[in-house]
Amino acid sequence: MSQLTTPELSQPSPFKRMLNRWGLPAPLFLGYVGLLLFMIGDGVESAFIAPFMADNGAGTDIRASHVITVYGVAVMLASWLSGALSELWGPRRVMFAGLVIWVVFDALFLAVAVAGESYPLMMVFYGLRGFGYPMFAFGFLVWITAVAPVARLGAAVGWFYFAFTGGLPTLGALVANFTNPVLGHYGTLWLSIGILALGGLVCLLGVRERTGRERLAPPEVKPVQSLVSSLSIAWKKPRVGIGMLVRVINTAPEFGILVFFPTIFISEIGFGESRWLLLVSVIFGTNIFFNLIFGVLSDKIGWRTTITYFGAIGCAVSILLLYFVPVYAGADYYWLALLVGALYGATLAGFVPISALLPSLAPENKGGAMALLNFGAGAATFAGPAVVSLFLGPFGGAGVVIIFAALYIVAAILTRFLKLPEETEQALEKNATLQQAGEKVVVT
């Protein structure tokens, strides 16, 4: 890692100074806007795609779930590839590939598979579409980690997750809520392509920053070598491998509870569907804003400290409260469920700095580190439901939630091993001092 400090050649505009104060890299501002629109388009279907498939070719919810499982496998693979390929092609090209994949295969899914009610084609086209959003979104995350000053990387990543979760599922589901009565599910899905394509164009045409347009790996690194290094870094740099496990634990319980909580909260506790959906909105709505709060806070108190105490230990406590408080308080104390739901959403955001910490553990191979980080994010979509399928029968809902809480404690212990290299620690301290003094700092 090299560090260059230069005086300002020209005074930045007040708007750019404001963005920099907030920890949002000004050259990437339109990228964040485009990402938000892209994820809104991707998230439009989140609340109704499974029953829509069942009614339009899949036949049953189980067969629809098989399509979504294939999609999930593609998401996991693409999450890894987004980091590995960004090293070779540059993040912008990876994002462009993701945009094209999403638009083309979703159009084929709607125009051919759904219109013809063909289950095999539905499996193929929707499954291949799964390569799209991770390559676009996580490609942009690699771009952020390559450009943002290391001392403000936590805040820059926090803004990424603000845009990401703001679109999927929060605002995406809200758009569907308004358009479904007017356009129907099929029309709304076509509208989602337009929203997503607009976001992709805003990002790819609006961002002029040069780093993301070029390959990040040295010229002598070959394609196969780059792909292998994005995996081998797990044992060459064991702390990066440990960080990937922490990333899996971060959201695995989140995906797990969405498998069996609806039945418990809607039927057994008696909240009903509308109040369950409101509770989910509160969880993710709170999470959006705390992504920003913990992103900024982590740059001040330390990335590991934030992950350990606010993220891992915080989630261990809040997920227990999220289950046991409503179960024992009952439907008459719905407001308590909203409070503990907001607490869980807030503590989930405590893991945001992991996306700043992991690439900083391997500054000479940020793309490889990001590839493993993104792979962990994709793997979480399987790990959580897998825990539920294995332990819900013998231990019940309470036992599964206790297992998830224990996993969060494991994440807290693992995070203590994620100590930054000494030179990175020094860069963080020096950059923070220089930024406070008002100098422009560029870290590569």
Q: What does the pLDDT read at residue 4?
A: 43
How does 262-286 read in b/e, with b if 16+ C-beta sit within 10 Å? eebbbeebebeeebbbbbbbbbbbb
- What is the distance between the alpha carbons of residues 28 and 275, in angstroms, rounded to a whole number? 38
CATH fourth-level superfamily of 29-215? MFS general substrate transporter like domains (1.20.1250.20)
The correct CATH number of 231-438 out of 3.30.70.3420, 1.20.1250.20, 3.40.50.620, 2.40.110.10 is 1.20.1250.20
For residue 8, the tally of other CB atoms under 10 A from its CB is: 9
3-state helix vs strand vs coil in the chain, percent to 5: 85, 0, 15
Q: What is the DSSP letter of 230?
A: H
Domains 29-215 and 231-438 share a fold: yes
- What is the distance between the alpha carbons of residues 187 and 210, in angstroms, rounded to a whole number? 38
Can you give the pTM of this predicted structure?
Answer: 0.84
| CA torsion, ordered 273, 350, 151, 237, to nearest 10 deg | -110
Residues in the chain, total: 444
- The C-alpha angle with vertex 81 and arms to 80 and 87, in degrees rounded to 5, equals 110
Q: What does the pLDDT read at residue 429?
A: 66
For residue 89, the tally of other CB atoms under 10 A from its CB is: 21
The DSSP string of 274-305 is HHHHHHHHHHHHHHHHHHHHHHHHHHHH-HHH
Q: Is it true that the peptide bond before 169 is cis, omega within 30 degrees of 0?
A: yes
- What is the distance between the alpha carbons of residues 360 and 204, in angstroms, rounded to a whole number? 26
- Ordered by start, the domain boundaries in the chain are 29-215, 231-438
Residue 388 φ/ψ, nearest 5 degrees: -60, -45
| CA torsion, ordered 115, 120, 125, 126, to nearest 10 deg | 90
Q: What does the pLDDT read at residue 12?
A: 77
Q: What does the pLDDT read at residue 205?
A: 97
Whether 362 and 243 have beta carbons less than 8 Å apart is answered as no
- What is the distance between the alpha carbons of residues 438 and 20, in angstroms, rounded to a whole number? 11
Task: Write out the chain's pLDDT in tens, 444 residues.
Answer: 444 444 444 577 889 889 988 889 999 999 999 999 999 999 898 878 888 998 999 998 778 888 888 888 898 899 999 988 998 999 999 999 999 999 999 999 999 999 999 999 999 999 999 999 999 999 999 999 999 988 889 999 999 999 999 998 889 888 888 898 899 999 999 999 999 999 999 999 999 999 999 988 887 777 777 777 777 888 888 999 999 999 999 999 998 888 788 889 988 999 987 788 788 888 988 999 999 999 999 999 999 999 999 999 999 999 999 999 999 999 999 999 999 999 999 999 999 999 999 999 988 888 788 889 999 998 888 888 889 888 998 999 999 999 999 999 999 999 999 998 776 676 666 655 555 554 444 433
